[in-house]
Amino acid sequence: MSKMNKAPEISTVKVSPRGAARLKDGHVWVYRSDIVSADGVPPGSLVSVTDHRGQILGTALYSSSSQIAIRLISREPVHDFPAFLRQRINDAIAYREPFIQDTNAYRVIFSEADFLPGLIVDRYNDILSMQILTQAMDAESVRETLLTELAEKLHPDSVVERVDPRVRQLEELPPRASGLLQGEKTSTIFSMNGVQFNFDALQGQKTGAFLDQRENYAAAAQYAHGEALDVFCYHGGFALHLAPRCSHVTGVDSSRPALEVADQNASLNHRDIEWIEASAFDLLKDYAHSGQQYDTIVLDPPAFAKTKRDLDAAMRGYKELNLRALKMLRPGGVLVTCSCSYHVSQNDFLEMLADAAKDAHRSLRLTEVRGAARDHPLLLNLPESGYLKCVIATVT
Ligand code: SAH
Amino acid 288: pLDDT: 87
Give distance in angstroms: CA of 81 to centre of ligand 1.
Answer: 40
What are the pLDDT digits (tens) for 219-245? Answer: 999 999 999 999 999 999 999 999 999
Distance in angstroms (rounded) separating the CA atoms of residues 262 and 365: 31
Specify the ligand 1 atom closest to the Cα of 280.
Answer: 23
Distance in angstroms (rounded) separating the CA atoms of residues 266 and 33: 51
Distance in angstroms (rounded) separating the CA atoms of residues 393 and 223: 9
Give distance in angstroms: CA of 359 to centre of ligand 1.
Answer: 25
Amino acid 208: pLDDT: 74
Give distance in angstroms: CA of 320 to centre of ligand 1.
Answer: 16
H-helix segments, the chain: 17-24, 81-96, 135-138, 140-154, 165-170, 214-223, 237-242, 256-268, 280-289, 311-328, 346-360
Distance in angstroms (rounded) separating the CA atoms of residues 275 and 253: 8
How does strand 158-161 pair with strand 179-182?
Answer: antiparallel
3-class secondary structure per residue, 273-325: CEEEECCHHHHHHHHHHCCCCEEEEEECCCCCCCCHHHHHHHHHHHHHHHHHH
Q: Nearest C-alpha to atom 1 of ligand 1 is from which residue?
A: 233
| Per-position DSSP letters for 53-80, written without gaps between them | T--EEEEEEE-SSSSEEEEEEESS--S-
| DSSP type of residue 173 | P
Cα four-point dihedral sign 42, 43, 46, 49: positive
Distance in angstroms (rounded) separating the CA atoms of residues 177 and 337: 35
Positions marked active-site: 340
H-helix segments, 155-255: 165-170, 214-223, 237-242
- Residue type for position 166: R
Show the domains of the chain with their CATH numbers. Answer: 9-74 (2.30.130.10), 81-190 (3.30.750.80), 210-395 (3.40.50.150)
Picking from 20, 112, 107, 97, the residue whose alpha carbon sits closest to that of residue 61 is 112
Query: Which residue out of 229, 252, 253 has the highest number of ligand 1 atoms within 8 Å of its CB and is therefore the one to mutate?
Result: 253
Using CA atoms, how far residue 145 sits from 85, 171, 201, in Å, is: 8, 21, 22
Specify the ligand 1 atom closest to the Cα of 209.
Answer: 8
Give all strands of the β-sheet with 226-231 in edge-to-edge order: 274-277, 246-253, 226-231, 294-299, 329-339, 389-395, 364-370
How does strand 35-37 pair with strand 29-31?
Answer: unpaired
Task: State what percent of residues in the chain have pLDDT above 70.
Answer: 97
Helix (H, G, I), strand (E, B) or coil at 369: strand
- pLDDT average, residue stretch 94-101: 96
Ligand 1 pocket: which residues have CB below 6 Å?
210, 213, 232-235, 237-238, 253-255, 258, 279-281, 300-302
What is the gyration radius of the CA atoms in the chain, in angstroms?
Answer: 23
- pLDDT average, residue stretch 178-184: 96
pLDDT band at residue 1 using 50, 70 and 90 as cut-offs? very low
Residue 126 has pLDDT above 80, yes or no: yes
Task: State what percent of residues in the chain have pLDDT above 90.
Answer: 89
Q: Nearest C-alpha to atom 20 of ligand 1 is from which residue?
A: 254
| DSSP type of residue 103 | B
Do 145 and 130 touch, CB atoms closer than 8 A?
no
Give distance in angstroms: CA of 246 to centre of ligand 1.
Answer: 21
What are the pLDDT digits (tens) for 269-297? Answer: 999 999 999 999 999 999 988 999 999 99
What are the pLDDT digits (tens) for 297-341? Answer: 999 999 987 888 888 999 999 999 999 999 999 999 999 999 999
